[in-house]
Structure formats: structure tokens, C-alpha cells
Amino acid sequence: MSDSSDSPFSQLYRCRDCGRELGFRSRRRTFGERFILPIFLLQPVRCGECFRRDYRLIFTQVRPRLSETVRPMPVKPAAPPNQHVA
């Protein structure tokens, strides 16, 4: 608990390991995570970069959990159909 800039309602996730601001909701696995964490307004969050698992306030903005099949696919922007070959 050394970071003093953290306000209790800070809503941005930031990994404590790699500093990335990309967090994903993680599955609640244990009894404690299912029933104890919500009491403290906490949720399990996983870093999208280094996969560190951590507990964050439920106000923290994280992305929905990835599907079971996690594939490292680069997300391409919707490319316009460029196949107008004469």
C-alpha cells in the first residue's frame, strides 16, 4: 500500500506489474472470490499483458472476460473491400 495517488473510486485499471491499463474480468474461482470479494466491492481482474491476477474494486473499468479460447490474434480494423480488380 505505497501508492498514495490511488483514490478509492479510481476507475482505471492499471497493472501493478507491467503498468498496462488493460484489465479483463476474471472468473471467480473460489468460495472467497464468489462470496467474500463482493462484500468488499472487489472483483478478480487479470492483466491483459502479463496475466497477473489481482483484485480490484468493482468500479474499476475492465473489459469483459475473454472467451475460453484465447488466441493471440491482432485486432485489425475493418478493412474496406479493396478487391476491385478489373
Q: Is residue 12 part of the contact set for Zn ion (CB under 5 A)?
A: no
Q: How far is the CB of 46 from Zn ion (least distance, A)?
A: 9
* Distance separating alpha carbons of residues 11 and 61, to the nearest angstrom: 6
CB under 5 A: which stretch of 1-9, 39-47, 55-63, 70-78 binds Zn ion?
39-47
Exactly one of 22, 33, 37, 49 binds Zn ion (CB under 5 A); which one? Answer: 49
* Distance separating alpha carbons of residues 23 and 61, to the nearest angstrom: 8
DSSP letter at 9? T
Dig out the grid coordinates for 80 from the structure.
474496406
Bridge partners (DSSP) listed for residue 55: 44
Exactly one of 13, 44, 45, 47 binds Zn ion (CB under 5 A); which one? Answer: 47
Number of residues that bind Zn ion (CB under 5 A): 7
- Sheet of 53-57: strand order equals 23-25, 42-47, 53-57
Q: How far is the CB of 61 from Zn ion (least distance, A)?
A: 16
What does the binding site for Zn ion look like in residue numbers (CB under 5 A)? 15, 17-18, 47, 49-50, 52
